[in-house]
Amino acid sequence: MKDGRRTFEAIIFDLDGTLIDSAPGLHAAIGAMLAERGLPEPDLETVIGHIGRGAPTLVERSLRWAGADPADHPDAYARFRDLYGADPLSGTTVYPGAREVLATLHDAGLKLGLCTNKGEAPTRDLLATLPLGPFDAVAGGDSLPERKPDPAPLLHVAEMLGTAPQDVLYVGDSETDWETARAAEIAYAHVEGGYQRRPIADFSPYLTLERIGDLPAAIKDS
């Protein structure tokens, strides 16, 4: 799709905070894991501030917030994964306009990819159950040894799509997404209102969107 400055052949999306709001379910699972250990439970905003670098980092940050040393809780991540995996749809909603955006871009002939730090198995379960897509390529946080903000997962999705990085737009909502796109030398569209809670240093996205539903028009009209 040509926007007057760039021609994109593929659009790759982040998942949590960009296409879906999964924070309530993550919050519930983190709270339950901490409560089982006699530790204080964070509020939703605190958990949102811990999201972005994958579930292991979410657990580690939450333990430290609760005053615990992660080294003293080696089973915490596995327990969180069990709690969240038992009901990953609890509290999870698709952002308004997300399904319509994917359908519009798909109908326009663009290749669609997904690059998330959520595990690949729960990601595919969510995509099938919600439903959300279609995606031509999907990479989760455990699909490669590296996780975002390392550029490898994003470049891997671009490769699976058969698209050169300069022909890809990556859509996300956080500092992690911005850092990933910048490291991969891929154009970045930032959706406001997701899980980013702090100013981002040296921030210069290709596009800034008030909501995910603005993406097709922004690509066309910018």
CB 21 within 8 A of CB 93: yes
- CA dist 210 to 13, 156, 173, 207, 214, Å? 16, 28, 11, 10, 7
The span from the CA of 205 to the CA of 176, in Å, is 13
Selecting among 3, 14, 125, 142, the annotated active-site residue is: 14
**Structure tokens of 214?**
């603005």
Q: Within its chain, how far is the Cα of 1 from the centroid?
A: 23
117 residue type, one letter:
N
Active site residue 14: yes
209 residue type, one letter:
L
Query: Phi and psi for 84 in degrees, rounded to 5?
Result: -70, -40
Task: Provide the phi-psi class of 85: left if phi over 0, else alpha when psi is between -120 and 50, else beta.
Answer: alpha
Active site residues: 14
